[in-house]
């Protein structure tokens, strides 16, 4: 699953650690989702959506063929 987390985070001049602190998501989870190593659960997706004030669809893009 592709995502725009890194670009959104950098736009606000945040490190992964600072984003983790501000959202209540673990730094390890931020890192894994940002790198595309794991698909975020709904809780993480909603927290990021709320923090960035964007719909989930603008943060994550499903790149599967389904």
3-state helix, strand, coil in the chain (%, to 5): 60, 5, 35
pLDDT number for residue 65: 59
Q: In the structure, what pLDDT confidence band is assigned to residue 66 with cuts at 50, 70 and 90? A: low
Q: Which residues contact 48 (CB under 8 A, 6 or more apart)?
A: 5, 23, 25, 40, 56, 59
Q: In the structure, what pLDDT confidence band is assigned to residue 36 with cuts at 50, 70 and 90? A: very high
d(CA 66, CA 34): 22
Q: Domains (ranges, CATH) in the chain?
A: 2-53 (1.10.260)
- Give the pair of three-digit tokens for residue 18: 């600072």
């Amino acid at each position: 699953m592709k995502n725009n987390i890194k670009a959104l985070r950098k736009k606000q001049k945040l490190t992964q650690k600072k984003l983790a602190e501000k959202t209540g998501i673990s730094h390890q989870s931020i890192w894994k989702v940002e790198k595309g190593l794991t698909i975020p659960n709904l809780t993480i997706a909603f927290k990021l959506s709320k923090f960035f004030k964007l719909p989930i669809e603008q943060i994550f893009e499903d790149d599967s063929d389904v």
